[in-house]
Structure 1
Amino acid sequence: MGRPSKPLISRSATIAASIDIIDTEGMDAFSLPRVAKQLNVRTSSLYHHFADRRELMTEVAKELMTEAKVPEYTVGTDWADWFVDLSLNYRDAILRHPNAALVLLQFLPRDVLAGTYEKCARILDDGGVPANLHVVILDGLEKISLATTLTDLMRGPVDSREVFPNVDARRHPTLTRALAANTWSSRELFVVTIRGFLSGVMGLVTAPVSDRSLEDFIGS
């Protein structure tokens, strides 16, 4: 389809309209014709800025992630605390757009976060974290943050203490006791999970895993 010679809308307006539709009507309602209707233009006008739906979705994912504020960092800041704050901001950005969460899973290109990852790597460096653990931490935090937040959205309501619904006390007595003993909300469990992950990775500094034992562990 040919592109119009003069743009009738801006790229940013198209992205904003897409997010609004997804937020209010859900992903099932999203389409290029629906976005065009929202902007009161022809669908062909969208092709001045975006080659196809996938390119628009990628830009939507980028825009959503810019809402995740990167915390300030100064010398002396505890690096683990900083990463907990960053992960919480990432989680909060996703929760502000629950209908768009799957867009991040499918369309978020890592290159949009390269600048943030560079800053993260420098902070790990400053914190004395060995370089060979940087990728483990950065990759793991991204996966944990996205997966746990998506799980919370699917479970709902967010920050409920009902972690595992429909548990039968007679059939699942041990799990029932565990749930009764849990005092953390979903947000608090998220923080505990992040801190536990960071602590576990840092345990490799004092108890390093040999290449051979690691191969055995992962089944290579």
Structure 2
Amino acid sequence: MIMDNLIEIKNMKYQYHKDKKLFEKFSLQLDCKRTTVITGNNASGKTTLSKLIMGILKPLEGDIILFGDNSKNMTLSEIGQGIGYVFQYPERQLFTTSVIDELTFAEILKGEKKEAVMEKAEEMIELFALEKARDVYPFFLSYGEKKRLAIASALMSNPKYLILDEPTASLDKDKIINLSMILNKLEEKNVGKLIITHDKNFIKEHGERVIHLDGGRIVKDEAN
């Protein structure tokens, strides 16, 4: 398998403090062209694993190889260029004064052409049903709207891989169906995903591979 299509975690160790180990000699290989679902009880390590992959947290030992490059040698910005990340609590990644600014700010800052960025942002607004919220301060949005905005923002940079932490939380049935359609379109473009969820229907719909974590250990790893 081509290294550019892989996320590899090798013999990783991580602990919150001296008395609370979470991952010990943990290894995992993810195919970035496929969709993997991670499930497990609270405190099983799901969100912590995603933050370790993104470089938000640092392992005490071991290596995390992203598309052939060791994350130890990468900045958060460099990791973010290849992987889009959506927090479980979307307000943690919303920081501008309007929905349209949230979608365009980072891309314009990177030097992308404003006209092209604005065009894509308008497409995202329509795709995620945020037309009425276009000029609204993000913190005034409902939780479901914040979640949709966070996902739309992550897609603005055309990531090679997408990590979604509880993406269906607080979305109604119609919004979940719409999100599924968007994720299916990404699969057609070979954009893989790591999805953390307890939603059994969502797992059945999208989980090509399902990993169950318990106490920082993989207790089940199977094709769906």
Look at both structures and tell me which one has the larger radius of gyration over its CA atoms. Answer: 1
Higher relative contact order (CA 8 A, sep 6+): 2
- Shorter-chain TM-score above 0.5: no
Structure whose residues are more often helix by fraction: 1
TM-score by length of 2: 0.24
TM-score by length of 1: 0.25
